[in-house]
Chains A and B, each alone.
Chain A
Amino acid sequence: MGPLPFALPFAELEVGQHLYWQIGNLKIHGQVFMTSWLLIGALLALVVVGTRKMERDPRGVQNLLEFLWDYIRDLARTQIGEKAYRDWMPFIGTLFLFIFVSNWGGALVPWKLIHLPSGELGAPTADINTTVALALLVSLAYFYAGLSRKGFRYFEYYVYPTPIMLPFKIVEDFTKPLSLSFRLFGNILADELVVAVLVFLVPLILPVPVMFLGLFTSAIQALIFATLAAYYIGEAVEEHH
């Protein structure tokens, strides 16, 4: 952004600028890790508080955690199937919780109050590195799930139901992580940009409904990512007869 004719404290718009940390000769995006550590810390704190004294009659945070657990179990069970869902539930659940916490943390925490020398704090999922990392993990996960459960019979899936499907199935292996990562990245970044632009143009009241819409999209994106990941794993472990 060029210099503005007037200065507003929260209305700076920086896209694609990062706070670089140098590790050896590797560069990483510091702002992504700062926010992700804070949010992971908050998530772990909630989990630790809720599981410290669990009882058969749940109360307080344990209720919330059991609700989340049940929600994730239903998600994993419906997509992966009764046989294999137990092995993959922690992975699906972690994806869901991490993305959800990242999205909502990026939208709800007033990060802009903290000034960095370069770049700005925001949702970790608004960085393409994060979403591609998650999407590649999903790819690895479904390959591993299929190969470990069915061995080389996993590749029958590529010619199922007919060998004509082979090229499409191979292309799918590339489009799956691509669409997963870009869907999440695009939605979260676009949400942040829309809010930032609106705040920049009309600082009062008008951005609030868009912010609520952003919260809604954020939650939906976390659910979509986790559901699709579970669906891909389910597809890989499914038995064809």
Chain B
Amino acid sequence: MTSFLLFGAGGLFDFDATLPLMAVQVVLLTFILNALFFSPVGRVVEEREGYVNTTRAEAKKQLAEAENLEAKLKEQLKQARMDAQTLIQEAEQDSDNLYREALALATADANATREKSRREIDAQREKALKQLKGDAEKLGDQIVTRLLAAK
């Protein structure tokens, strides 16, 4: 180990043509790596970053659109619900009215029929009573005549 820490041939700090050659080699390697590694990988990575950015922006736009549409639809749905509510109310009112009208009609009809029948019954009863009275008087007269004749 006598040559340890010596400049010059065989030493630890032996500078020679290795130095410039290594420098040239590293510069060459820089260009080769730039062509084979840095620019192609950079292109791919930056393309992907661009793709991700545009896709995200698009997605954001679509999301906003969807939210807009949802709000609109909700509004329409609310409107439709209210319309339906009023329609139902109107229909209920109508049917109620119809029912009442029909009921009133039927009641009136029934009342009229009952009145008519009662009057008929009354008339017949009167008639029957009259007849009965007539018959009774006739019978009374006959009885009186027979009694008088027997005397």
Contacts and interface: CB of A to CB of B under 8 A. Distances in A.
Interface of A: 1, 15-18, 20, 23, 26-29, 32-33, 36, 40, 44, 47-48, 51, 54, 56, 58, 62, 65-66, 69-70, 72-73, 89-91, 93-95, 97-98, 124, 127-130, 132-134, 136-137, 189
A191 to B, nearest CB: 15
Nearest to A22: B17
Contact of A56 (B14, B19, B51): B51
B15 interface: yes
Nearest to B31: A90
A1 B16 contact: no
Most buried by A among B10, B19, B31, B47: B19
Contacts of B36: 44, 47-48, 51
Contact of B3 (A16, A27, A95): A16
Contacts, number: 126
Main secondary structure of the interface of A (DSSP, over half): helix
24 contacts: A16-B4, A16-B12, A17-B10, A18-B10, A18-B14, A20-B9, A26-B16, A27-B17, A29-B18, A36-B25, A47-B37, A54-B44, A56-B48, A56-B51, A65-B37, A66-B41, A69-B45, A90-B30, A90-B34, A93-B33, A93-B37, A98-B26, A133-B18, A133-B23
A129 B36 CA distance: 27
B41 A54 contact: yes
A90 B26 contact: no
Given A90-B30, A90-B34, A132-B19, 7 more contacts: A26-B16, A29-B14, A33-B22, A51-B36, A62-B44, A124-B22, A133-B20
A49 B74 CA distance: 56
A15 B4 contact: yes
Contacts of B11: 16
Contacts of A124: 22
Contact of A33 (B3, B16, B21): B21
| B22, B25, B48: residue with the most chain A Cβ atoms closer than 10 Å | B22
B104 interface: no
A46 to B, nearest CB: 9
B36 to A, nearest CB: 5
B38 to A, nearest CB: 4
Nearest to A1: B1
Contact of B14 (A16, A66, A73, A90): A16
A197 to B, nearest CB: 12
Contacts of B48: 56
B13 interface: yes
Contacts of A51: 36-37, 40-41
A129 B30 contact: no
B132 interface: no
Nearest to A93: B38
A98 B36 CA distance: 15
B112 interface: no
Nearest to B25: A36
A195 B26 CA distance: 28
B33 A94 contact: yes
A108 B116 CA distance: 126
Contacts of B88: none
